[in-house]
Every structure is written in C-alpha cells, then in structure tokens.
Structure 1
Amino acid sequence: MNKAEDEKQGDGGRFKGTTFQDLLDQETVEVPEFLRLQSNPPMGDEDLSVDRYISQDFFDLEKDRMWPKVWQMVCREEDIAEPGDHHVYNIIDNSVIITRTPSHAIRGFINSCLHRGRCLRDESGTVTEFRCPFHGATWDLDGQFQGIPCQWDFDHLADRDMALPEVKTATWGGFVFINFDPDCEPLESYMGVMPEHFSRYPLEKYFKGVHVQRVMQCNWKVGAEAFMESWHTLETHQQILTFTGDENSQYDTFGDNVSRSVTPMAVHSPHLENISDEAIIRDILKLSGRMALDSDEGVEMPEGISARRYVADMNREMFEEASGEDLSDATMAELEDAILYSLFPNFQVWVGYNGNIVYRFLPNGDDPHSCIFDVMILLRYPEGGERPDPAECVVIPEDQPFSSVAELGALGPVFDQDDANLPAVQRGMKASKKGTVSLASYQESRIRHLHATLDNYIKS
C-alpha cells in the first residue's frame, strides 16, 4: 500500500495507518460516548511569537490578567483531611492558605498578616490557629481575628473587619481549586465536559500514591506543552515506540478550557515495522510505568490474542483487585491508553481506573524562564477500605534526575528525557533570529488552543 493510501483523513488532521477510532471498533464491550467524540475545529496556522515564552512583559500580562481570573488546582482534599491541616499555595506574587476548618469546610485565606503583612504560614502543615511569627497576631481556623499582643495599642482597629480575606474555593475529583476572582464562574461550568467524561473514574476515591516536584529551567507553558502532543516520542522517547501509537494519536478541544490527547498503547508506532506482539509485551511491561507488571519475566502470551488485548486483560485483573470494582465493561482503551485531559491553564490528568498521572506546571516566582513541575500518581484502594495516607511531596534538587526517585519507576527516565529538551527549548527561543515558533496543524493543535484561551484573558 502506498503512502497516500495508507493515510486516513482525520477531523482537522491526517493519521497514518490505524486510528484510535479504528481501535475502538475492535472493542468487545460498549464504548463510552466520550471516547467516540472527535472535536478539532481549525485554529489557523499562524506562527507564535517567542515573546510569549521569554518576555517579562508578556509574563507580567499573564500575572495581571490571567492568573487572577482562572480556576487553578492547588492540592488534593486528602492533603488537608483534618481541621487545621493546611496547604500553602504560591503563585507568582500571591500566596494562599487552603485549610480544613473545624466544620470540615475547605476555605482559602490570603497568606498575609493584617498587621505588618508577613506571611502567616511559610509552609504547609497542621496548626490550631494562624499566628503570625513576627508579632503574634492571631486568627482562628475560620479566619476570624483573635487578637494581637499589646492589644491596648490597637484601639483604632476595634471597629475594622479584621477577618482574613478569602478566595473562592471548589472541589472536583478529590482536587481542591481556587480562584482569586470573586465574580468567577462556577468551577463546574469552567470545566465544561470534564466532569461528564470522568464520570466512570471517581478520582475522589483514589489516593495520591506518588508526588514529586522539581524546578525546570523553562517557561511554564514550554513545560505544559511538552505533554500536549505525542509526536515528540519519535525523537525523544525512542525506547517506547514499540508499544506507543505516537502518530496515531487523536487530539481534541472542547470549549475554551478543555483539551485532550488520546495515544494508543500496546500497538507499535507507525514509524516501525515488523514488531511482534511478544516485543510489544516485553517493552510495555518494562518501560511504560503504567501497567499491572513492571517486568515480562514469566509472562507467556497465549496464541491467538493480540498484545493490546493481553495487556488490557492483565490490567483489568490488577485494577479490579486494587479497587474491588467489577471492570468487565471497561474498554481496552480505558485500561491501557494514554488519555490525557488538560484544564486551562495548567492542570493535566489522565483518564483511567488506576495509576492516573497528574501534571501541573506553575511559574517559579516572577521568573519567565523557570517553572515548578509537579507530577502525582493517583492509585486505587479497596472500596470500603481505609484510605492510605497521601504521599508526601518529594522535592528533587535541580541537579538530580527524576530517575533518582524510585517511586516513579519507568516514568522517571521518560521525564529525564523531557527535561533534557525543555531548558534547551527555552535557550533556543532566546537565541532565535526567526522570533517565532511554527506549530503542526493537527498534532500541536492543543498548544494553539491553550494560547487562544490565554489571549482571551491578556487581550481583554
């Protein structure tokens, strides 16, 4: 078959060989409607200026016009499970204390003493009150002012409202979100299709099994965009091509705030030929980091079954054991494929029944040339059983690789490969004489979607 015959026209792009939708046709159970959706309206092919990544002026526009207006994920509910538990969230010049109150409500208070402005909390933890380390001004867990030493010297404050200023808070899937805008739309409507598309995966019942954080020497968007397309696999992650349908990936956008990529697994890349099912099984178990096993030792494939079916059935058995849930109606796609959703601006989470990866890229203070990368892995525990304690955040020094964290398993070396690119992207854009970046029409459409939504804020 020649190249022209081997390509299939997709919605907004071209696919080589078998598409994700073709793979769904091979399912033996009912396919959820959200997997059948294809939504990729044309978004133009104009270049993007590198100033969007390297300019302090552009960064300041984001700081002033975008970050104060968007819903942003700050932590997991399980991170602040009991009254007094709190998480300190810093975003550029803003700092918020997200706490569990005595009534078990979740509230977000501006992390600034109303006396001299010192941060009330320097780090996350557990307290019975918020007491300023500078002079001792104190607030209870509901943000109500309790007093200050030498109260006699503050009679002029007696009639003032000294409650801690708050931000909007909301939860979804066990995640806590905040918004600095008091007039913002509700989180549920901001998320668009995501709650419906995740209805089969009760993420609030999962627990945080891994949490790793590291500073990356690139703009926060450079980092986030690295996880919005799969075709860099061909050059950057060559070791996973034997079981990753990189060029077969489907890309969708839904409204202003949501996009997704769907990359088939347990099928080889269209760039390779003559890859046996045995080779696919061997490599996916060793190198994926998301399968039921991390080794092919002792694994023998029965005849007459594809690698895709074999891996799905293996994962189904393990995921059922982990959750106590009957997954007989789960598709192969849900059990093994890389189905990644993004919520503008920086929250990314995988669909699935176990081992859901979460990414977040935050600006690193006021620096447009570095960011903070968080990766979490959500795991299951038996229904009705005691929730395991959430993993502590492991902060990796910049001079150490992701692969130094054993809990990441096979994902660590993959992140190290990405980390080899991202600082070089930042340096290269600074050096660029072209002054722009050019995006693929289809495979990088999610990146263009992110910038279109960003423009809605910074141009308003």
Structure 2
Amino acid sequence: MAESDPRIKGEPLPRCPGISVHDLMAADSNPVPEFLYRDEYENLGSKPIPTSRYTDPAFFELEKEKMWPRTWQFAAREEEMPEAGDHVVYDNAGKSFLLVRQDDGSIKGFYNVCLHRGRQLKTEAGWSSALQCPFHGFTWNNDGSMKTIPCRWDFSHLKDEDMALPEVTVGRWGGYIFLREARDGPTLEEFLAPMPEHFRRWKHEECATAIWVGKVCHANWKVVMEAFMESWHTVVTHPQLLPFTGDANSMYNIYGDYVNLTVTPFGTMSPHLDPQGRSQQWIVDEFVKYNGRSSDNYEGGDAPEGGYNVRVPDGKTAREALGESLRATTTKMFGHDVGFASDAEMMDAILYNVFPNWSPWGGFQPNIVYRWRPWGDVDHCLMEVRIITRVPPGQEPPRAPKMKFLGVDQKWTEAPELGILGDVFEQDMANLPFVQVGLKSSRNGKVELANYQEIQIRQFQNTLMKYIDGEL
C-alpha cells in the first residue's frame, strides 16, 4: 500500500528504504484489518529524556506515590483463579494486593494486609475457604467481611462493620484481570482503547497461559520495558533475525496517553541486508531453520501434515507461503479455523504496549504477553513472559502454570520451555544492565530519542510525567 493511501492518516512519515508494512499488507493473501495498516502518529518533539528518571531513587519514590496508585495494572489472568475461593497475590512497587474469586464468579480485590498487626494475609496463590492471618488468626470471609476476631473479649473497641478489608477497584477484559487503587480516573475500557475493538478478532478470552517465566533483571523497569518498544535494535542485537524480519520497516502507532502499537513484518528481508542473489525461498528457509523446523528433518523432503516443509511456488512471496502454512498448522493444532486470517496476523510481531507495564501481542499465533515490575529498588526489575495459546472449542481452559522464577544471576535460557525466545532475551540482557550503568555514568544526563522509531518511548515518558505532575 502506498504512503499516499487515503486510509493513512496525517503526513507521509520518514521510512527506511525498502518494502513498508503498507506495501506488504496491500499484497496480503487475505484482507488485513484496517487498524493494522493505518498510521496513527503525531510528532511529539525531540526533547531529551533526563537520565535521572531511570536512576534517581527520589524519582522512583515519586512513581510509587503518584503514578502506580492511579493507573490500571494487569494483575492476573482468569485461568490463574478459575474456582470460587481461589486467590492470587499481586505485589508491585512496595505494596501487596489480593484478588479473590467470589461464589458468583466475580472477583474482588483487597489490600493484602491484616488489619490487626499488618501481616500479609497471603504470600502466594492458592485456595482458601476464608482469609486467615497466619500471625494471630484474625479471619475474614472471602468477600472481605469480618469473620473471626480471636480473644474478642480484648477487642471490645472493634466493630465488625469497621473491620472489612479495604478494597481496590477491579476490572476485567479479554481474560485479563486489572486493579487500581484510585477510585477516580478512566474506566478500564477507556484506558485500553482502542484495544477492545482490535482484539475482537483475536479473542484473548479464548486463550490460556501455557508458559510463564519471570526473571529479575539488573536494570530499571523502564529501561527493560522500553527495549521492547522499538524494533530497530535488531540489526545489532539480534542479527540472526534479519533474513526474515523487516526490522527498520516497522510501523509505530500511538493512541492517546496509554496505548501504542508496533507492527514488525516477518517473512520479509531486513532492509539492512543486500537482497542480491537471495530468493523468496531463501527467506522461508532461514525462517524455518531459525525456528528449528528445517525441511531437512523430513525424509524425502515431505513434511508431515501441518509441518513446516514450506515451498514457495512460482509467482508467490515468502509471506504468502508462510501465511498459508501457518493458517493450516494453527487450525489443526488449536481447533479454531483461521483460514480467513491475513498473513500479517499469522506471522508479524503485533505488539501493543499499555501504560505503565503491560504488553500483549495480537494476531492468531500463540501470543507473547510481557509484564515488568520494579523489584526492590531503582536498579532492578522483574520481567515476566507468558505464552498464551487458544483453548480448543468445547474444552475448559487449563489452570495457569506457576511462574518459573529466574534470579538475577540466571539466564533466560535456563527456562527451556521458552525455546528460541530464551536466546533472544539473553541477547537483550547483554545490553540492559550496561544501559543502567551507563545512565548512572552519563555526563550530560540526557537520553536522545529517534523521532519516529522511538516515538512510543516518548509517549510513555510523557504520560509518566503527567502522573508525576498531577495532570492524570
């Protein structure tokens, strides 16, 4: 699709030379949703970001005071707590919260604090008929009402109606459960817009967590998160992806204050590579080889049904061939017919970033879901990676696995269930701790951003400062 297409809003944008997202989607095998090729961009200026936002303990405290309590936070997935009495503990930025499934299927959220001496009521997910403090035995019903006060004769000054657990606001969308401390502010649907409209096609409520790994990283939570808000670091950090990734031809959209979208095309060669002598079949072979499913594994070159022995017919592109194969394989694996899906929705990196710390992928493949949380101090964070997959029709969603926890000295590759993603994340980790050291060593105290390819970082930083300054 040409840059002058009337469905593209605003002025033509600077693009890396090469095939654009719009060109690829114009040639797609199936119709592509309009929102995946419509530019939503505005110039946010070129002012540098102070390094102190990543390194200053005082700024870290301002985030805890002015931002975190006022924003919606992704706290759990529905399949983590499917039964009445199930509870999930969500800890972030020095506070602990408790989500509890009620008898009617609703979910309530509480501050995870005993109102007697302040102990956390729960320290991990589980099931309880009631919420009893392990210290002295004060007990609440799962709806937060007071149930039992031990030695009640010595607490004549306490009334049950005054001892209900303080609640936080709970929101639910797409199989995700959110909480917010503040009572005022945008509704969850307003906060997430336009994602509810976009995700009607992809229906994350029909998915369940298959893999869940978290790792402590030696870098500020924003440093790590912002590494996933642009794709152009691929050329140096992830060079093995270049044969089948249009890294610098990605599209970056921003939607208001809270949501942005990156579309990075796969099945096409990076504009950083010389295309001379490299065929569409070469692109496919590199894609298959990287994913560990080379057709060489199959005797006679014939892959089993739904396999990855992908051949590019004359007159077809790598994207068309891969899209056809992925539609067939995904339909077979998960029981949902995705024959209508576009090539883009089957292979491209369609990554939404939601302020402040949550990033789900769109499309019809098993989706990656990221979450980042401060971890103790300004210099550490917990990065979580989930893979959610579609539940076959008629089956009950399986309960989510427990998160595999990797410490700061462990590698992502120590979670073999992540497959090739573990290697990719390790390449990122080769940079991020040294970004944190570099920011602390900066002489001019500035971070300079690209106007387009890093526009999402600027949007995020602008929204953060609106919270810090009391504008949101």
Does the TM-score normalized on the shorter chain lie above 0.5?
Answer: yes
Corresponding residue of 1:100: 101
How far did residue 430 of structure 1 move?
0.5
Counterpart of 2:404 in structure 1: which amino acid?
V
Question: What per-residue deviation string (whole Å, max 9, x for no partner) do you get for residues 231-289 of structure 1?
Answer: 0000000111111100110001011111011100011100101333333223322435x
Corresponding residue of 1:277: 280
How far did residue 32 of structure 1 move?
1.2
Corresponding residue of 2:261: 260
Corresponding residue of 2:354: 343
DSSP 3-state at the match of 2:382: strand
Using the alignment, how far apart are the partners of 1:356 and 1:300 within structure 2?
22
Corresponding residue of 2:128: 127
**Which among 321, 328, 332 is matched to residue 332 of structure 2?**
321
Corresponding residue of 1:3: none
Corresponding residue of 1:202: 203
Using the alignment, how far apart are the partners of 2:326 and 2:402 within structure 1?
26
Counterpart of 1:352 in structure 2: which amino acid?
G
Question: What per-residue deviation string (whole Å, max 9, x for no partner) do you get for residues 10-69 of structure 1?
Answer: 744323211000101102322212113101100001111100100111111111111000
TM-score normalised over the length of structure 1: 0.94
Using the alignment, how far apart are the partners of 1:450 and 1:227 within structure 2?
12
Query: Contact 1:243–1:283 at 8 Å: present in 2 too?
Result: yes
Using the alignment, how far apart are the partners of 2:159 and 2:462 within structure 1?
48
Query: Contact 2:79–2:398 at 8 Å: present in 1 too?
Result: no
Corresponding residue of 1:439: 449
Using the alignment, how far apart are the partners of 1:165 and 1:326 within structure 2?
45
DSSP 3-state at the match of 2:408: coil
Count of matched residue positions in the alignment of Structure 1 and Structure 2 = 447
Query: Contact 1:322–1:381 at 8 Å: present in 2 too?
Result: no
Query: Contact 2:85–2:100 at 8 Å: present in 1 too?
Result: yes
Q: What's the C-alpha RMSD, in Å, of the aligned pairs?
A: 1.5
Corresponding residue of 1:449: 459
Corresponding residue of 1:173: 174
DSSP 3-state at the match of 1:214: strand
Aligned counterparts, 1:293-304, within 5 A: 294-296=293-295, 297-298=297-298, 299=309, 301-304=311-314
Say if 1:394 and 1:308 are closer, same or farther in 2 by CA, change over 3 A: same
Counterpart of 2:349 in structure 1: which amino acid?
A
DSSP 3-state at the match of 2:40: coil
Query: Contact 2:347–2:365 at 8 Å: present in 1 too?
Result: no
Corresponding residue of 1:357: 368
Using the alignment, how far apart are the partners of 1:159 and 1:73 within structure 2?
31
TM-score normalised over the length of structure 2: 0.92
**Which among 402, 405, 421 is matched to residue 411 of structure 1?**
421
DSSP 3-state at the match of 1:44: coil
Counterpart of 2:152 in structure 1: which amino acid?
Q
Say if 1:303 and 1:438 are closer, same or farther in 2 by CA, change over 3 A: same
Say if 1:294 and 1:358 are closer, same or farther in 2 by CA, change over 3 A: farther
How far did residue 387 of structure 1 move?
2.2
Say if 1:141 and 1:306 are closer, same or farther in 2 by CA, change over 3 A: same
**Which among 438, 460, 465 is matched to residue 428 of structure 1?**
438
Query: Contact 1:12–1:41 at 8 Å: present in 2 too?
Result: no
Counterpart of 2:435 in structure 1: which amino acid?
V
Query: Contact 1:210–1:391 at 8 Å: present in 2 too?
Result: yes
Using the alignment, how far apart are the partners of 2:12 and 2:99 within structure 1?
42
How far did residue 325 of structure 1 move?
2.4
Using the alignment, how far apart are the partners of 2:317 and 2:367 within structure 1?
24
**Unpaired segments of 5 or more residues in structure 1?**
1-8
How far did residue 160 of structure 1 move?
5.0
Using the alignment, how far apart are the partners of 1:132 and 1:159 within structure 2?
16
Corresponding residue of 1:384: 394
Using the alignment, how far apart are the partners of 2:47 and 2:266 within structure 1?
32
Aligned counterparts, 1:111-126, within 5 A: 111-126=112-127
